[in-house]
Chain A
Amino acid sequence: MQPSGTPALEANGISLRFGGLTVLNDVSLEVGQRQIVSLIGPNGAGKSSLVNCITGFYRPQRGTVTVFGEDVSGLPPQKIAKHRVARTYQNIELFDGMSVLENLLLGRHMHMSSGPISGGLWWGKARNEELREREVVEDLVDFLELESIRNAPVSLLSYGQRKRVDLGRALAQDPHILILDEPMAGMNVEEKEDMVRFILELQETRAISIVLIEHDMGVVMDISDRVAVLDFGQFIAMGSPDEVKNDPAVIRAYVGGAKEIAS
C-alpha cells in the first residue's frame, strides 16, 4: 500500500528515561495513511514503551508525537484518544466487571454524549443513544464472531475470546489509527489466522492505519507494509519486510532467530 499525503502518525526524536535507565533513545517513526507498520524487536527493546509514549501513557523527556499533522505531545491518553487513536493492550485490560457488550459499548464512549443527568433519567437522550449504539456495536459483534458470548461477563471468557473483545473495544472507537500490542500472543494457529483475517479486513474496509507489535515473524512479514526493528531503545532497521529480513544488524540482534526471520 502506498502512503498518501500527511502521515497518519509521526513520532519524532522520542527519548524516554526512567531514573538512570534509558528506555528509548531518540526514536522516530512514521506511519503513512492506511499502512500497516510492524514494530518488532527482542523483549525489553522498548516497543510497548514507544506505544505508551505515542498514546500518552508515558511522557517522554524529549520528542514529539503528531497525529494527522496535529501535535499531541504531552496530552493525557483520553485526549489523544479523541484524535481517533485506539489501542489494544498486551495484558488485554478488559473491564472485568462488565459483559462483552458493555466493554464494546465503552469503546463507543467518545461517540456518545449522555451524562449523569440524562443517564439517570433514561427516557429520552440516554435511551435513544443506548439503542442506537447497540446497533452500531452489533456490526462489530458479527465481525468478531462474538454473538454467542455477547452478554457473558468478560472475566469468564477464554484468553482468545478476551483478545477479540479487546480488539472490538478498540475498533468500537472508530479509530483512524489502531495500535495493536501483541494481538496474537498466546493464540493457536487457528486463532492467529482469524486475527490476521480481521486485521486485513480492517485495513481494506475501514481505511485504518495500523501499528502492530508482534513476535510472530511469519505474520509480520506477510502483512506489513513496513517493518521497524527496535533493540535497546533504538531502531536498528526500518524498511520493507524484505529489506529488514536480510539486514545484517537485524540478524545479529536475533541470534539464533535467523531461521525464523528467513521463513
Chain B
Amino acid sequence: MTRRLTAGALTLLAGSLILSACGSDGDPGADGDKEPIVVGIAGARVGAIANIGEGISEGIIDWFEMVNAEGGVNGREVEIVEVETEYEAPPAVEAFSRFQQDDAAVVVTQGTAITDALTPVATQNKIPLFFPGQGNLETVDGEAAPYVFPASPLYAHQASALVDYLIQENGPDTTFACLAWEAPAGREFCNGAADAAEKNFVGEVVFPARAADLAPQVNRLVDLGADVNLHSAVFGQATAAFKGLCEAAPDSIMGTWHWSVTKDAVEGAGKDCMEGMYATSMSTLTTDEPEAFTMLQDFWSESGEEPNPVALNNTVYSNGLYFATVLEEAIRLADDKVGDGPITGEDMKAALESITDFEGYGAACPITLTPKDHSGNRALNIYRVESGEFARVETCVVGPPVAGEPDVGQN
C-alpha cells in the first residue's frame, strides 16, 4: 500500500507543480484591439478585516464587470486579478510578485499593514498601490512616497471631521474619549480625534488586536466620563465595543470610523443600543442610491444577473465602488494619453495624479490628486444610525487640519 501511495503522491505532486507553472503565465486579452489593463487586488476576505475585504473586492469586481460588458474603458478591457493574503505580510509579498508577473498596472491593497509591507517592492517596481480609506498619514505626501496612493481622507481626517461635526452639534464644551485598536490605523484615528478636540480630549484606551472581551478597556474608557466615546475597532471587536459602551455609558454619544458602518454592528449590538451612533464614511452608502449604484442595478436587471447580495448586506461595498470609480477614471486618463499601447504602472501613477474634481458618479466627495498630494480628498460624509438604518446627516464635511500631516499645499 505504501508503494502505491508514494507513487500516487509523486504523480500528484508533479502534476500540480506543472499545472501551477502553466497557470501563472498571464492570459492574453480577449479581442485583439487593445491590451487589457490588469488590476491586482491583494485581497483580505479572510482574517482580521474580512468584512472589509469582501466589501471592497466585490465592489471593484462588480463595477468592472459592468464596465467590461459595456465595452471596457475606451474599448480597453479591465482584468481583475485577486489574490488572498489573509491580512498577512508574506502572502502579500508573493501576491505582489504574481501581479508583477501578470503585468499589473496598479495594485489595490487592503489593510494598512499589507500596504506598508508592499511599499518597498511597489516603489522599486514602479507599480502604484491604491488603498482609499486606509494607510498612514505619511502616505499623503506624493513626493515622499511616489507610488503609494491613499486617494481619500486618512484616518486622522475622519476623526477630525467627526469631532468637528459633533462639536458643532453639541456645543464647544463637548468632551471626547477614544478607544483605540492597537494597530497603527486604530491609533491614528484616536490621535486625530485628540488633535481635533484639543483640550476637550480627556483620554484614550488602547485594546489589543485579538482580545475577545473588551470589558476592561471599555470600563476604563467610561471612567474618563466623556460626552462622546469614539472607537476604532473593526468586525467583532466593534460590536463588542458598542455593546460595552451601551451598557456602561448609556447616555454617552458613540462615534466610530468608516469601517464600523456595518449592518453586523447594528444587529450585533442591537438597534436600541446603536440608536444615535455617528460614523464617518468616505463614500456614499448604497442605501442612499448614489448614481454609481443605480448604474450597477440597471446593469444587473438588464443583463438578467442577480444583484450581488454583498451590495445590500455589506455597507463597505460602497467603499468598493469608491475604489472602482476612481480607478476607472485613472484608467481612462491613462488610456487617453497612451492610446492603443499597454498601460504601465508609471502611466497609472501619472494618470492618478491628474485626476481633478472627480466625484465617482456620486460615490465619493470631489477628489483632486496631484504629484504632491496623494490624498486629494479630506471630505467625509457623516452618518447616524436611526431606527436601525444608516441616515446621512452631513455631506462632504472637512474637519480642521490634522497635526502631523505633511504639507502638500491642499486648500
Chains A and B touch each other in the complex, with CB atoms below 8 Å apart: no
Residues of B within 8 A of A (CB): none
Query: CB within 8 Å of B: which residues of A?
Result: none
